[in-house]
Amino acid sequence: MTTQKKQKNKPKTSAAMKASDEDSVKAGQEVMLETLRQFKSATSQNYFERVNFVVSVSTDVSEGCKHCGVPIGYEHFAESINHYIQMHDYKLLHVGTVTSLDRDDELIYSSVALLGHE
């Protein structure tokens, strides 16, 4: 009866692991860059070209929709953005923050979205 020893896979040395990991990271980065290039070219072409009317939605201001009067902004920020997009075919152009001062010179932070329509 002969006994066969199972050969164990030798663990990679740290140098081999590092090279392998670096190759994987490089490959992943290349895929991400190509995806970003394709997305950028598909989304940036003519995106702003036909925008003729812009509205802003803010967490600091409550007003009525420019088209139908539905309450917009303030505590209904996300719903307001969705309203313009879904009901009036707007495109989201920008989302950011605004810092201003109140009457007592205290800082006020609010969110703002700009939406555009043809």
Q: What is the pLDDT of residues 64-118, one digit of tens each?
A: 999 999 999 888 999 999 999 999 999 898 899 989 888 999 998 999 999 888 8
User: Are 60 and 101 in the same domain?
Assistant: yes
Return the HEC string of 54-67. Answer: EEEEECCCEEECCC
User: Are 36 and 79 in the same domain?
Assistant: no
User: Are 93 and 60 in the same domain?
Assistant: yes
This model's pTM is above 0.85: no
How far apart CA 57 and CA 51 sit, in angstroms, is 17
| Per-residue pLDDT at 80 | 93
User: Are 58 and 41 in the same domain?
Assistant: no
- Mean pLDDT of the region 21-41: 66
